[in-house]
Every structure is written in structure tokens, then in C-alpha cells.
Amino acid sequence: MAYTARVRAAVARHLLRHPKSELRLRLAVLRATPFPPGSRSIGADWDWNELTERFPQSRAFIYGTGDDALVYTFDSASQILVVEFLIVDGELVP
């Protein structure tokens, strides 16, 4: 079943102002598949598992490395994926 991929406005603005090819490629992959190889539950990531507190009602995932990644949620009931945050150079933005 097809799903909808959304990007938070602040994330989109950041990617437009500060293009980073690795993140744009990962975004394109997420638009094609909600669970690409290399994505994992945010709770399973040693560096970023404290972010699970920000998503008490959702399943959150990270796609990328500890330095550059997309943080997203996926609701299987509504089939909606939302890119919530970016990790750029090891920092959470925006």
C-alpha cells in the first residue's frame, strides 16, 4: 500500500538553505520506502535514544549515521511518514 511522506517546514527550509547531498539522498530514499536498509528505531540508537521521549505516541526512527541523519516517524495505521528533525554534523537541527 502506498504511503505519504511529509517533511516538516523547518526541516525543508534547512535543507534548502544548507544543502547536504547525503541528507537529500536519504530523503529521496525515504520517499520510496519507509524502512530502508540502515534505518533503525531511535530507541535502539546509542547516541540518540533519548529522543524517544519526544515521540510518546509515535514510532520514531533514524536513517543515517550519528553525524548526518534524518529522524522520522511512521504511522502504519494512517500510512504517513513525517521527517521530524535532521542530525547535521552530530547536532540536532532545526
Report pTM: 0.90
Query: Number of folded domains in the chain?
Result: 1
Band (30; pLDDT cuts 50, 70, 90): very high
Q: Does residue 1 have a pLDDT over 70?
A: no
**Residue 78 lies in domain:** 4-35+54-93
Using CA atoms, how far apart are residues 41 and 48, in angstroms rounded to an integer? 10
- Given a contact cutoff of 8 angstroms between Cβ atoms, the answer to whether 8 and 15 are in contact is no
Q: What per-residue confidence (pLDDT) applies to 48?
A: 86
Q: Does residue 47 have a pLDDT over 90?
A: no
Using CA atoms, how far apart are residues 24 and 31, in angstroms rounded to an integer? 11
Using CA atoms, how far apart are residues 68 and 27, in angstroms rounded to an integer? 12
CATH, residue 77 = 3.30.2310.20
Which secondary-structure segment (H or E) carries 85?
strand 80-88
* Average pLDDT of the segment spanning 15-27: 91
Band (46; pLDDT cuts 50, 70, 90): confident
Using CA atoms, how far apart are residues 40 and 23, in angstroms rounded to an integer? 16
